[in-house]
Amino acid sequence: MNARLKGPWLESQVSSFLEQSVYPLRLACVDPEGVPVVVSVWYLLDNGSLQCVSHQKSHLVRLLRANNRVGFEVAPNEPPYHGVRGQGSARLTPLGERDTLNRLLVRYLGGTDSSLAQWLLSRKAEEVLISIDPTQIFSWDYRQRMADIPAPNSGK
């Protein structure tokens, strides 16, 4: 990764977390009126770039065409809190014959056999690859200091 790194994790730990995590990426962008917009998308890490896919006519793609500066976060919703967030820029290119959509479907759905996967694959020609190139990455990890906090809904 060519991003500035801050926080407790080494670059290898950040990469490992992003490669292994199946939490959606929360992608923040700004609409033409300057209003922040956050969209959850599936992602994968590929050569230091966060790769997502969205339909060419989606609101997200329209926003990114107008302003490619983004913020992002990948983290669980439940304690103990830890994760990665940062800023960067998004590049949009036609998905074409890339296997990114298939890889995302396997990663998040476990395969391509579901009706959702088949529907998404049926529109592959209309999909756009969103490549997020991070400029800054921040890690945080409160697992050690939260070790004695019961898990949500554990009844404790």
pTM score of the predicted model: 0.90
What are 87-136's pLDDT values in tens digits? 999 999 999 999 999 999 999 999 999 999 999 999 999 999 999 999 99
What are 1-24's pLDDT values in tens digits? 789 999 999 999 999 999 999 999
The tally of CA atoms less than 13 A away on the side-chain side of residue 72 is: 30
| 109 three-state secondary structure | helix
What are 86-97's pLDDT values in tens digits? 999 999 999 999
> What is the chain's mean pLDDT, rounded?
93
Question: Would you identify the CATH topology of the domain 4-141?
Answer: Pnp Oxidase; Chain A (2.30.110)
Task: Round to whole Å and give the CA distance between 16 and 120.
Answer: 27
Q: What is the pLDDT of residue 153?
A: 66
Structure tokens at 154: 């554990």
What are 45-76's pLDDT values in tens digits? 999 999 999 999 999 999 999 999 999 999 99
Domain boundaries, the chain: 4-141
HEC letters along 2-48: CCEEECCCCHHHHHHHHHHCCCCEEEEEECCCCCEEEEEECCEEECC
Prior bond of 8 cis (ω within 30°): no
Quick one: what percent of the chain has pLDDT higher than 70? 96
Angle 41-42-45 from CA coordinates, rounded to 5°: 120
Q: What is the pLDDT of residue 77?
A: 87
Task: Round to whole Å and give the CA distance between 129 and 133.
Answer: 13
